[in-house]
Amino acid sequence: NSNRAVFGAVYEPLAGRGNCPSFTKALAGICADRYGVQFVKQTKVRDFTTSHGTITGLRTDRGAIALPPDTPVVLAAGSWTPYLCWRLGLFVPIYPMKGYTLMVDLPPASAAANTPSPQDVPQRAVTFHDMFIARLGTQIRMSAFGEFDGWSTQSRPEVDKKVRKSAKHISPALGAHIDAAPTVCGLRPMSADGCIIAGRTEQYSNLYLNVGPGHNGWKTAVG
């Protein structure tokens, strides 16, 4: 049930939804197990070494990493892509938009049932003008609007309050669970026109960019 007046709707039976962290971790596991991809974790890239228009190495907080000649370098660092490009003298029009998400645990009775009460729990996905609500197993993800707040991933109390108010307005039966839900903030790498910036750069022959679709990033990654 929703307190909002509904004048119409669009039903998309083939529409999908997914869990971003689970998808990313599973993809990384497949890349490592099937294709031998090596992941260097807990390592921050600080700068690059270059020679004659090519990237020859990485400078990280754990030391230098030399690259074999002509190794393709794909820069897909999300909202941090502009910073790394700046180290190379490149400008990329990407700006971080901080998005707010509530991960709501379902009430025990509904979570245990095979067919939860539809008036209490969204069964698939519901989209309003300021929120996207999706059922993910025994949780409901409520993703809200974003704000430009630099590279901070901390929620602001006044915005968090507004997000919860909007969520409870849409699903009033879950009010207490929405109040108890944690807020997760992430940075969406937004381009000015919402399009992906992808392809090889003119300045460096082995440097490729893949960034910019904002909140659609992980969905377009496998396209």
Specify the pLDDT at position 95.
92
* C-alpha–C-alpha distance, residues 118 and 114, integer Å: 12
This prediction's pTM: 0.78
DSSP state letter for 182:
P
d(CA 49, CA 57): 5
Exposure b/e, 135-154, CB count within 10 A at least 16 = b: bbeebbbbbbbbeebeeeee
d(CA 79, CA 94): 7
Stretch (H or E) spanning 209: strand 207-211
Predicted local confidence at residue 1, as pLDDT: 53
Regions of the chain short of the pLDDT cut 70? 1-13, 15-16, 107-129, 218, 221-223
The DSSP secondary structure of 70-105, one letter per residue, reads T--EEE--GGGHHHHHHHTT----EEEEEEEEEEEE
* Domains annotated on the chain, with CATH: 23-93+192-220 (3.50.50.60), 95-190 (3.30.9.10)
Place of tokens 């004048």: 7
pLDDT for 206-215, tens place per residue? 999 998 877 7
Instruction: Give the whole-angstrom CA distance, residue 121 versus residue 98.
Output: 27
Q: What's the confidence (pLDDT) of residue 15?
A: 67
* Rg (alpha carbons) of the chain, rounded to whole number: 21
pLDDT one-digit tens code per residue, 72-87? 999 999 999 999 999 9
Q: What is the pLDDT of residue 115?
A: 39
